[in-house]
Amino acid sequence: MLQIAGSGTLKIAAEAKAMKSKGIEVIDLSVGEPDFPTPANIKEAAKRAIEDNFTKYTANEGIPDLKSAIIHKFCKDNGVEYAQDEVIVSSGAKNCLYNLFVAMIDKGDEVIIPAPYWVSYPEQVKLAQGIPVIIQTKEENGFCITPAELESVITSNTKALILNNPCNPTGATYTREQLRELAEIAVAKGIYLIADEIYEKLVYDGFRFCSVAALSDEIKQLAIIVNGVSKSYSMTGWRIGYAAGPRDIISAMAKVQSHNTSNACSISQMASLEAIRGTQTEVFNMVAEFQNRRNYILSRVRSIPDISCLEPKGAFYLFPNFSAYYGMQYEGMQILSSSDLCYYLLKYARVAVVSGSAFGADNFIRLSYATSIQNIEEGMNRIVEAMQKLES
């Protein structure tokens, strides 16, 4: 356990909360969840489930109706076909990934993880006794790994490649062609593709999302798709995620699940059934609002001198490069790293952001725009002012 780090994103959110509880007014741009309420039709479905006493253990891998709705979603949205025994429902996408790593990884297996990465990937791989192999993607490549970069880290111990598309923390997205090039390497080398597509629906500027499983049958045989309702339907607290993939892997994940959580919450499964099968109007409304906020916060960040920032096409984060300010100081507080910068911004600007080091990229910080435009405006005013105070 000494080799496993706690979640860096949860840590800063807890500190911001502690400051708020002391009456300090903190603008929180560290959040990893939509600020919208869960849509009313979904909440109603959960209430109905309670009234109907749908409150007992369910099938280990998820209720058949929800799995059917997920199968229909894959077919309609992604053009991919799955059978009931190729799908599992778990207590969040995080839980799906954990079950997957425990089921798939033998001691010493290597899992390739492009950095910047979502904080839990390397730690979960380590918890399953695997070895995370980090590839640093480049800002100038839009934080996407290239085929040459992928090939350079594959060894005879490589078990899988994780692709998070759209990506937390960068908002980077892969086009169908980029995905195909990487997936074909995986097929040639017999490596599994773990595709975390949880931000699939949160895409902007007309970006057309493509699931890696849709590329070809050969690729689908090696792909495990992880998705969930947390981000698309503002349902982070309901804890429902799902995975689809080859039936031997899914049944191994079900075995793992049968000995830890048993099944995902029965009421949340009913709510998720409504989320996936019911009207999608609220998803479109949320995406339209996120698009406005992304445009606004990006223009503010790009107006700070010496900052570079990718225009993200997905998720709800910006990942600007602040390294030009490293080495500067204010009132004796010197900024030498992304975590120094986070503490500086928390202390002097009263704005919570997440340090890039939590995602394996110390030149950057993560700003979330899953908060109101008023908060974003005030938060950016404070950040701009704090950056102006820094001196060489």
Ligand X SMILES: Cc1ncc(COP(=O)(O)O)c(C=O)c1O
Which member of 196, 282, 289, 362 binds ligand X (CB under 6 A)? 196
Min. distance of Cβ 129 from ligand X in angstroms?
A: 21
Stretch in the footprint of ligand X (CB under 6 A) among 87-95, 250-258, 284-292, 321-329: 87-95
Q: Is 241 helix (H, G, I), strand (E, B) or coil?
A: strand
Min. distance of Cβ 196 from ligand X in angstroms?
A: 5
Which member of 34, 39, 228, 320 binds ligand X (CB under 6 A)? 228
Min. distance of Cβ 241 from ligand X in angstroms?
A: 4
Distance set, CA 71 to CA 77, 89, 224, 283, 299 (Å): 10, 12, 14, 19, 39
Take residue 290 and report the two structure tokens written for it: 């996120």
Mask for 94-123, x = binds ligand X (CB under 6 A): x-----------------------x-----
Sign of the torsion formed by the C-alpha atoms of 185, 92, 351 and 290: positive
Stretch in the footprint of ligand X (CB under 6 A) among 60-68, 92-100, 186-194, 332-340: 92-100
d(CA 243, CA 93): 8
Q: Residue 300 belongs to what H/E stretch? A: helix 281-302
Phi first, then psi: give them for residue 279, nearest 5 degrees: -60, 145
* Interaction residues for ligand X, span 236-255 (CB under 6 A): 236, 241
Please report where in the chains the tokens 């009234």 appear, as a residue: 51
Stretch in the footprint of ligand X (CB under 6 A) among 66-74, 88-96, 255-263, 292-300: 88-96
Is 60 a binder of ligand X (CB under 6 A)? no
Determine the residue type at 187: V
- DSSP structure string for 162-200: EEESSPTTT-----HHHHHHHHHHHHHHT-EEEEE-TTT
Cβ atoms of 390 and 334 within 8 Å: the answer is no
d(CA 76, CA 276): 11
How many angstroms from the chain centroid is the CA of residue 358?
13
Nearer to ligand X, 228 or 360 (CB): 228
Determine the residue type at 98: Y
Nearer to ligand X, 164 or 375 (CB): 164
Nearer to ligand X, 30 or 363 (CB): 30
Take residue 326 and report the two structure tokens written for it: 């490293």
Which member of 93, 111, 113, 254 binds ligand X (CB under 6 A)? 93
d(CA 258, CA 6): 25
Question: Count of alpha carbons within 13 Å of 242, Cβ hemisphere only?
Answer: 27
Mask for 22-51, x = binds ligand X (CB under 6 A): ----------x-------------------
- DSSP structure string for 1-16: -TT-PPPHHHHHHHHH
Which member of 158, 164, 165, 170 binds ligand X (CB under 6 A)? 164
Report the DSSP pairing between strands 131-136 and 365-368: unpaired
Mask for 285-314, x = binds ligand X (CB under 6 A): ------------------------------
Min. distance of Cβ 277 from ligand X in angstroms?
A: 18
Min. distance of Cβ 222 from ligand X in angstroms?
A: 20
Q: Shortest Cβ contact with ligand X: which residue? A: 92
Is 166 a binder of ligand X (CB under 6 A)? no
Size of the site for ligand X (CB under 6 A): 13
Phi first, then psi: give them for residue 163, nearest 5 degrees: -120, 120
Stretch in the footprint of ligand X (CB under 6 A) among 14-22, 86-94, 203-211, 352-360: 86-94
Nearer to ligand X, 312 or 386 (CB): 312
Positions that interact with ligand X (CB under 6 A): 32, 92-94, 118, 164, 168, 196, 198, 228, 230, 236, 241
